[in-house]
Structure 1
Amino acid sequence: MSAPTSGSPLPAAGAWVLATDDPVSSVGYHPAFTGNGRFAARVPAAGNGFADTPVRTQFHVAGLYTGREGTWSRKASLPAWSTLDVSDGSGSFNAAFADPPGAQTTVVESEPLIGGDWAPVSSPRAGSARGIERYRQSLDLRTGVITTEARWNSPAGRMTDVRYEVFTDRSRPHVAVVSVTVTPLWEGELVITDALDERAGSRVRTVERGGDQGRIWTLVEAEGSGITAAVVSVLRGPESGVGSAHEEPLPAPDGGAAQTLRVRTSTGRPLTFTKYVAVVTSHTAAEPLGTARVHAEGAAREGYGRLEEDNRRAWQREWEADIVVRGDALLQRRVRASKFYLLTSVHEDSPWSPSPAGLSSDGYNGHVFWDTETWIWPALLAQHPHIARSVLDYRLARLDAARVAASEGGHRGARFPWESGLTGEEDTPDWAPFGRLEQHISADVALAFWQYWLATGDRQWLRTAGLPVLSAIADFWTSRVTPDAEGRCHINGVIPPDEYAVGPHDDSVYTNVAARESLRFAAGAAQALGESADPRWAAVAKRIVVPFDEVRGIHPEFDGYAGQTIKQADVVMLAYPWENPQLSQVTRADLEYYAARTHEDGPSMTDSVHSIVHAELGDAEKAFEYTRRSVEPFVRSPFEQFAEARMGGAFTFLTGHGGFLQEFLYGYSGLRLRADRIALAPILPVELEGITLQRLCWRGRVFDVDIRSDGTTVRLRSGERLPVETAGTLRHVPTGGELTISTRTPSRHR
């Protein structure tokens, strides 16, 4: 449910359902999005099909990239597989939501288009809905089901009640379902059209399309890569219906496969039609089209009820790891929405890493950045380590490409690309310097691999995956540094996380600290396995320069930094997530100095790290102020989706959702992972009654942390006793028991 100022939302249906009754809001209707971690769909106001406005509906599947063709790979989009249109012969339900020919759409002034291939996004516009009454669209976060209901008055004046349900099945990675129940308030012939609309496709060519015996299909190939994707739809309706499968031109140049089902109606009698969709790529099947047919037909045999229940159970398992926020219903919905959108784009069986927009769009070309390891991934690790591991598999599978990149730059080890797509080669557009110079990405990858080891203690994984990656990154940094006459090691010619500082610059303090810690991670991993660490790792780590301004008491962003405006969090991140050993007064000085110099229109995740660091310092009031800042200007109605910036940008922005969730998982809890214990330093803003983190995971233990103003309770659900460090004291939670620790009293510092 959206905030009262967002369009015309309906009263909340509990804490789990987001809904609206206004598909054409002048303040910006942003269509819903759902996915099962393997493929996804953006669902327009009509509840099905393709729409170019107000935000283009895209249909993505993990791993469908184009070839590089001498430049860079890009994410490709499937045909729209959700189309299941309703017609009385005089017009169709979907056409009621389309702009009439020659209509002028209204661009919302506050949301300009960010153009170019690097961050494409459509600009929200006020839409149209002619002949539509009693409209309601809702997203159930518990199941990912998007429901759209309306009464449609056709051009012929016939009234029809229509109800759509769309979901991708989280229990079946290749299956989705679209169902429409139609209740005509008239008698005559009803026409249902099932289509695979190729207008939604991008950067693909159609290899084959067709239809027979109640099913249609399309096989597409991504440009230049040879990767194919098959989409098969099987349509089922009332037994009295007479169907005919055929290719039928759609109102677009490329058309698509379609089939119609014609049924005689009687007044007030509901009729239900269901299409069972399967999406399969050549990454997972030698013959995607044949495999997709098997999955679609199998789903149709099992029926809607079975799929709906299996999907519900699969999501229920994920939601056992909830984040409960007491005292602010709107904030609670936004927390759950953020978690939902992360889960739509990742799955434990998918060896693909989410881009900043996940499977919602081709924003940032669908490339993988530091956004994953730094902002999205930690929010998964705390409660879903099985999913977090699959995300790391993406980097592991591309380690050889990272080795080649390091070698081509004249270095040892592995250097991961700033933008990564299909192959793990550098996919940053040629015009941008970041691919050559924003090298901290390799250290960001190292941090995620080290955190996974801390969280799981999986020695077999550390031996076969963790140490190979960590040691390769460490080898890169040992060869990347430049010693001076005194033996100190510098890292010259880089761009820090602050991308306004295009430089190149020497001794970015973030890059230097991250490189130093990467070297220590590799040594620690070798030690944990009883193996010898390369002595160069410790030697270089000890000598890397960490710039510090003794006069101002802060870390300068880089050598020569003169106080200019920065784009996003940079130096502040030394405290979190890097845990650089420094005095709290240095952490506070860095935070206050750089927060005042951060561009007010920068990306959303900056405010989240500011919140976490304020919480660490005991400033609950400021932490909560930044929590509000990290969500309110960025969230879009009516389904609580983040945009990248206050003025638009990539959408849906998982990076923002992930940073926002970290405020609760690591900020207010003070949760930090260690090899032999967890550390907690809970604090609660006065604006909230409590925060409960359910089913946190650490080395085989599953536990809850319940933060209240009068104390915090740690409950161990399963596993051996849990060592907890708090306020400098080590205590243990017994198996099946609980432990109460103090909740910190907020400081009065301003």
Structure 2
Amino acid sequence: MRKLPKKQSILLPDDWNIIEEGFHPQHNFMLETIFTVANGYLGLRGNLDEDFPDKCQSFKATYINGFYEEYDITYPEGGYGFAKRGEAMVNVADVKTFEITIEGEKFNLFSGKIYKHIRKLDMKSGTVVREILWESERGRKIFISFERLACFKRQHLGAINIRIKPLNFSGRIKIVSKIDGNSSNLLETEDVRVGSGIEKFPFETSKAHCSELKGFLMQKTKKSRLSYGCMAEHILSFGDFQHKSFADKEKNLVIFEIEFDAEKDMEYNLTKYFSYFTQRDVEEDLIEERCAAEILEAKKMGFENLLKEQREFLETFWENADVVVKGDPKIQQAIRFSLFSLLQSTGRNGISNIAAKGLTGEGYGGHYFWDSEIYIMPFFIYSQPEIAKMLLLYRYNILDAARKRARELHHRGALYPWRTIAGKECSAYFPAGTAQYHINADIVYAIKKYFEATDDLEFIKNYGAEIVFEVARFFSELGHFSEAKGGKFCIFCVTGPDEYTALVDNNAYTNYMVKMTLEFATELYNLLKEKDSNALEKLCRKIELLKDEVLLWKNIADNMYLPYNPELKIISQDDSFIYKKRLDLSKIPENQFPLLLNWHYLDIYRYQVCKQPDVLLLIYLLRENFTFEDLKNNYEYYEPITTHDSSLSPAIFSILAAELGYLDKAYEYFVYTARMDLDDLNDNTKDGIHAACMGGAWQALVFGFGGMRTNKDRLSFAPKLPQRLECLSFKVRYKGKVLKVEITKDKASYTLLEGESVQLSHYGSSFELKRGQAKEFILAN
């Protein structure tokens, strides 16, 4: 069994803030990820505000969720149906960097003397504040503060406020501010998880102009032919200053130079408002106009009112989403950072989703995966269902692309891409990409859970059922009834969640999830027939669905081949898995993990070794289908051979270990999940957050230690806390009701905050709560 790595954090523990005290240039790349501010649309990577020497490793970046460039995928040996053209989130124009000169000396933390340097991400205000007390090489001491935000309520708008105060001198200060359109993406690296595929500068600059302290830059991607615009304007709190501004389209720059005579102990304030729009939001010829309107509104409000609006937005978010953990302050900080990061990462416009690295870095090229549906979606379903709905609408909006991909592979129905932005399959390695057909079922699973939790029949009628029916249609053609397996429906040559086992027959996760999909599709067909036959008939005409297909779905579901080994009393991961040699992970040197970076794929595929849970994830997702003995047997079998090379892995192990009563082990897996980025446990936080891992941290608390399970008609709980935790409290939104759950070592209480009544279950004991009513249960030690 592999030991999980541990590290000492350089960040201070705090319930509501992420704090760096002191200057740590050796960790700057990682800290840029942590101190990102974003709003689901616009992501401002947490670069230092000033230019600095190359000795400090940095990647300056600004991202727009869903805005992408295309690139050609080349293969030494290609093949039919291989992904030919990729999509990558592009690094757009930078507005965050300033040059500050004090009496001819450039402000730079690599020179002079630092008396104070504090950087703080405030999760109540949604800002990053940086305060510096610095003395130049010639002895001029100055206080500088930078405050940066991406507005949650105005997703196209951001702002930076700078405060400058000379402490022991009076003199000339110059500030240079830019819209710098010379941004580029990371190139491919030896790490297959990093790099965009975009090899050269991806833009053509179509506009660059300025007037006074306001400027605009517009660029178009060279291959996807998508335009975006960025406008910035500066507001100064003092009147006596000189300025110059100029734009250079050829150099992709708009530059503003502001100079003033500063007096000792006087504070000077500059606010920079900026707005981004893309051609995916509005017509190309409206981009500049819409940017200007956002800036005008921001100026009317002022920076302080934008901060107030931001705090009010987050107050509502935390009221619904907060999870209170007592006993370990680093865990309280970590879970709030996870939830805040998910909010920052999540698109809410129906044309964007959640990139694997959020809007913080370029790992995986800004692609969307199954991470969204299986790991992140539950948090939003049970706390912010309106956001969950928008994420599912994104899947509906790329349904035509999924249909096209299915036809390309000679199937009817729809095949969703393994990794994508706008709908194309962008995975260049098909055994770990296209072959993971379970992506279809994962999306259906999310729709099913959303519907169970919200009763949103309108969504099902207008969007959800069409996705489910097209996916069911695809799956009905993916396999066949095999005489060699007793006439059961088998699915051959697929890859399940465990990417260290590829192109296998009858992957258990896939078969079970296909069965779930076909059963849910049949259920929805019958439900719509009963509730709104006109809507069903309209949909059937649109997609040419026949009743015979629905009957086939039921027949396949009833006769699905479900792998099981009676001797070992486990679910076989696939037809061949248990016949391979088991790897002893304890004998593999730690520097060889992750295996995918140090071993050839073939050398991995021929062993019993798992990158992440496969059968165990299946048991977790479809828990009602399996006994406690099934869970225990499979956990004991698969845990020793799981490397956790995927950040998706430890959360599921934590949840299942908690149910099994292995609370110390559950807590160890949970801590690894929750602190992965703040402590840089995988040495790759520099490439961006692990968004799915953050969703997994919420699930590990709520479904693991909270013991929550969901089904069609009620929530059930079987809570238990590990030794290190004293109290766990969270809220759940379910069928329009809001339930508060509080758990300590010796009791659990449930309070209905909203809704007339709710049916619940505690360790199998059913009970009902009325609005405002609470019920308490004693927990056995």
Q: For the residues of structure 2 that align with 1:501 and 1:524, how far apart are their CA atoms?
A: 33
Tell me the CA shift for residue 201 of structure 1: 4.1
* Contact 2:158–2:275 under 8 Å retained in 1: yes
Task: Report the Cα offset of residue 344 of structure 1.
Answer: 0.4
State the distance in 1 between where 2:615 and 2:177 align.
53
2:140 to 154, 158, 161: 158
| 1:184 maps to 2:173 | no
Q: Counterpart in 1 of 2:38?
A: 35
| Aligned-residue offset at 1:244 | 3.0
Which residue does 1:514 correspond to in 2? 513
Q: Equivalent residue for 1:395?
A: 395
Residue in structure 1 matched with residue 540 of structure 2 by the alignment? none
> Superposed, which structure 2 residues align to 1:597-746 within 5 Å?
597-599=641-643, 602-632=645-675, 634-637=676-679, 645=682, 650-694=687-731, 696-743=732-779, 745=781
**Cα distance in 2 between the residues matched to 1:249 and 1:744:** 72
Q: What RMSD in Å do the two structures reach over aligned CA positions?
A: 2.4
* Contact 2:677–2:689 under 8 Å retained in 1: no
Once residues 343 and 461 of structure 1 are traced to their aligned partners in structure 2, the CA distance between those partners, rounded to angstroms, is: 22
Q: Measure, in 2, the Cα distance between the counterparts of 1:688 and 1:626.
A: 14
Q: Does the Cα contact within 8 Å between 2:208 and 2:252 map onto a contact in 1? A: no
Equivalent in 80, 93, 99 of residue 94 of structure 2: 80
Report the alpha carbon displacement of residue 369 of structure 1 after superposing the two structures with TM.
0.8
Change (3 A) 1:622 1:421: same
Give distance in 1, aligned partners of 2:415 and 2:54.
Answer: 40
Does the Cα contact within 8 Å between 1:49 and 1:82 map onto a contact in 2? Answer: no
Q: Is the 8 A contact 2:334 2:678 kept in 1?
A: no
> After superposition, where does 1:140-155 map in structure 2 within 5 Å?
140-155=122-137
Shift of 1:397: 0.4
Counterpart in the other structure of 1:256 = 253
Q: Is the 8 A contact 1:42 1:57 kept in 2?
A: yes
* Paired residue type of 1:87: T
More moved, 475-484 vs 195-204 = 195-204
Structure 1 residue 53: deviation in Å?
5.0
- Is structure 2 residue 439 aligned with structure 1 residue 441? yes
| Deviation of the 1:719 alpha carbon | 1.2
Distance 2:52 2:222 in 1: 24
Percent sequence identity over matched residues?
24
**Counterpart of 2:142 in 1: which secondary structure?**
strand
Q: What TM-score results when the alignment is normalised by the length of structure 1?
A: 0.88
Equivalent residue in structure 2 for 1:552, among 568, 571, 582: 568
Q: What runs of 5+ residues in structure 2 fail to find an aligned partner? A: 1-5, 73-83, 186-201, 531-535, 537-546, 583-607
Q: Is the partner of 2:521 in helix, strand or coil?
A: helix
Quick one: which amino acid aligns to residue 197 of structure 1?
D
Give distance in 1, aligned partners of 2:349 and 2:375: 21
Distance in 2 of aligned mates of 1:573 and 1:297: 50
How many Å apart are 1:622 and its aligned residue?
2.5
Partners of 2:742 and 2:222 lie apart in 1 by: 50
SS at match of 2:148: strand
Separation of aligned partners in 2, 1:549 and 1:340: 43
Q: Would you say the 8 A contact 1:615–1:668 is kept in 2?
A: yes
Q: Do 2:49 and 2:96's aligned partners in 1 also have CA atoms closer than 8 Å?
A: no
CA distance, structure 1, for counterparts of residue 50 and residue 453 of structure 2:
41
2:557 is the alignment partner of 1:541: yes
Alpha-carbon distance between aligned partners in 1 of 2:462 and 2:449, rounded to the nearest angstrom: 16
TM-score by length of 2: 0.85
**CA apart distance, 1:206:** 2.2
Tell me by how many angstroms 1:623 deviates: 1.5
1:461 counterpart = 2:459: yes
Residues 278 and 295 in structure 1, CA contact (< 8 A), matched pair in contact too:
yes
- In the other structure, the counterpart of 2:328 is 328
C-alpha distance after superposition, 1:295-345 (max 9, x if no partner): 112212221111110111111111112000011111000000000111101
SS in 2 for 1:365: helix
Kindly indicate whether the alpha-carbon contact (under 8 Å) linking 1:48 and 1:164 is maintained by their aligned counterparts in 2: no
Work out the CA distance in 1 between the residues paired with 2:350 and 2:311: 20
Which ranges in structure 1 are unaligned for 5 or more consecutive residues? 98-127, 746-750
Once residues 244 and 52 of structure 1 are traced to their aligned partners in structure 2, the CA distance between those partners, rounded to angstroms, is 31
Choose between structure 1 and 2: higher helix proportion.
2
Q: 3-state SS of the aligned residue for 2:172?
A: strand
Q: Tell me the secondary structure at the aligned position of residue 145 of structure 2.
A: strand
Contact residue 715 and residue 737 of structure 1 kept, 8 A? yes
Q: Distance in 1 between matches of 2:52 and 2:456?
A: 44
SS for the counterpart of 2:302 is helix
The residue type paired with residue 169 of structure 1 is C
Q: Distance in 1 between matches of 2:660 and 2:120?
A: 40
Letter in 1 for 2:666: A
Q: Is the 8 A contact 1:176 1:276 kept in 2?
A: yes
Q: Which residue of 1 aligns with 2:104?
A: 90
Residues in 2 aligned to 1:49 and 1:717: alpha-carbon distance in whole angstroms: 52
Is contact 2:358–2:688 with CA below 8 Å preserved after alignment?
no
Give the 3 Å change call, closer, same or farther, for CA 636–25 of structure 1 in structure 2. Answer: farther
The 10-residue stretch of structure 1 (256-265 or 48-57) with the greater mean CA deviation from structure 2: 48-57
- Report the counterpart of residue 122 of structure 1 in structure 2: none
Contact kept? 1:49, 1:197, Cα under 8 Å: no
Q: Which moved more, 1:707-716 or 1:696-705?
A: 707-716
Aligned match for 2:620, one of 576, 581, 602: 576
Other structure's SS at 1:82 match: coil
Residue in structure 2 matching 1:274, options 243, 268, 271: 271
Partner of 1:496: 496
The answer to whether the 8 A contact 1:51-1:57 is kept is no
Question: Is the Cα contact below 8 Å between 1:457 and 1:675 reproduced in 2?
Answer: no
On the 8 A contact 2:31/2:686 being kept in 1, the answer is no
Inter-partner Cα distance in structure 1 for 2:460 and 2:713? 16
Deviation at 1:225, TM superposition (A): 1.5
CA contact (8 A) 1:78 1:198 kept: yes
Compare 164-173 and 583-592 and name the one that shifted more.
Answer: 583-592
> Residues 25 and 188 (structure 1 numbering): CA distance in 2 closer, same or farther, change over 3 Å?
closer
Partner-residue secondary structure (3-state), 1:517: helix
Could you tell me how far apart the structure 1 residues matched to 2:366 and 2:53 are? Answer: 20
Contact 2:716 2:764 in 1 (8 A): no
**Which residue of structure 2 lines up, in the alignment, with residue 63 of structure 1?**
66
1:20 is aligned with what amino acid?
E
**Change in 2 beyond 3 A, CA 1:516/1:52:** farther
Which AA in structure 1 matches 2:634? D
8 Å CA contact 2:325–2:332 kept in 1: the answer is yes
The alpha carbon displacement at 1:647 in A equals 5.9
Cα 1:4–1:446 shift into 2, 3 Å: closer
Contact 2:241 2:261 in 1 (8 A): no
- 1:204-243 matches, within 5 Å, as 204-243=203-242
Instruction: After TM superposition, give the deviation of residue 155 of structure 1 in Å.
Output: 4.3
- The answer to whether the Cα contact below 8 Å between 1:212 and 1:245 also exists between their aligned partners in 2 is no
- 1:364 equivalent in alignment to 2:367: no
Match of 1:525 in 2: 524
1:385-430 Cα shifts (integer Å, max 9, x gaps): 11111111110101111112222222221111111212x121112x
- 524-533 vs 288-297, which deviates more? 524-533
Matched residue SS, 1:688: coil
Q: Secondary structure at the match of 2:368?
A: coil
Which residues of 2 match residues 383-422 of structure 1 at below 5 A? 383-422=383-422
Cα offsets for 1:451-487 (capped at 9, x unmatched): 1101100111111111111111111111111211232
* Number of residue pairs aligned between Structure 1 and Structure 2: 695
Q: How far off its partner does 1:625 sit?
A: 2.3
Could you tell me whether the CA contact under 8 Å between 2:215 and 2:231 is conserved in 1? yes
What CA deviation, in whole Å up to 9, does each residue of 1:110-163 have, x standing for no partner?
xxxxxxxxxxxxxxxxxx565333111111011221011112223443221101
* Conserved 8 A contact 2:26-2:57: no
Q: Aligned pair 1:481/2:479, yes or no?
A: yes
